[in-house]
């Protein structure tokens, strides 16, 4: 495609010259002119780049943020308290106020919180990637719609010109018919 067509498209659709367009806008303009699709599965590309640790932290965040985990952990706490207060009344391994349990919970929270934050950071990065892709798809759709409007307007203009010519021909025939009657 010629540089002049790109320049005209950039000015028409973006309102800026080609040389000041951002790389994403330039790529969208090229793909729109080439009639290439822009839709892609950005999640598949993102998932392919995840390391074992990334996938593990995502799984931990999924399990740690589920009702199954909450109810299971609640059951564990109840059993811990029952064992140390009722069943082992003579020699409990963690007597009330459950200092050892408190230590275990603190260590679990100290490990689980950063793992969940890593997963959330990856989710935010994926959301930014999706938003960028959505912007590109929307921009291309807008360019295509504008191009369709231009084509429809051009067709409408040629139809109006053809109708004008037909009306002029009809008017001329009517004039000839009136002259021939008189």
11-28 per-position pLDDT tens digit: 777 777 877 778 878 887
Q: How far apart are alpha carbons 145 and 148 in whole angstroms? A: 5
Q: How many CA atoms lie within 13 A of 73 on its CB side?
A: 13
Asked whether 48 and 67 are in contact (CB, 8 A), the reply is: no
Cβ burial, residue 112 (10 Å; 0-12/13-18/19+)? middle
The predicted structure's pLDDT at residue 163: 94
Q: How far apart are CA 164 and CA 66, in angstroms?
A: 71
Residues 126-139 have a mean pLDDT of 86
Q: Is it the case that residue 64 has pLDDT exceeding 70?
A: yes
Residue 131: the pLDDT is 87
What is the rounded average pLDDT of the residues 53-82? 90
């Amino acid at each position: 495609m010629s540089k002049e067509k790109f320049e005209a498209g950039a000015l028409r659709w973006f309102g800026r010259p080609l040389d000041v367009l951002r790389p994403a806008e330039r790529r969208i303009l090229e793909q729109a002119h080439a009639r290439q699709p822009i839709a892609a599965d950005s999640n598949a590309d993102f998932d392919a780049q995840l390391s074992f640790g990334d996938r593990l932290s995502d799984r931990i965040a999924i399990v740690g943020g589920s009702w199954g985990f909450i109810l299971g952990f609640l059951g564990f706490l109840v059993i811990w308290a029952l064992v140390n207060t009722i069943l082992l009344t003579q020699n409990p391994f963690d007597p009330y106020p459950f200092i050892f349990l408190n230590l275990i919970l603190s260590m679990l929270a100290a490990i689980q919180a950063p793992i969940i934050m890593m997963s959330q950071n990856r989710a935010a990065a994926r959301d930014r990637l999706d938003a960028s892709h959505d912007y590109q798809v929307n921009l291309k759709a807008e360019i295509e719609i504008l191009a369709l409007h231009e084509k429809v307007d051009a067709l409408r203009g040629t139809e109006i010109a053809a109708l004008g010519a037909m009306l002029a021909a009809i008017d001329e025939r009517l004039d000839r018919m009136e002259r021939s009657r008189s």
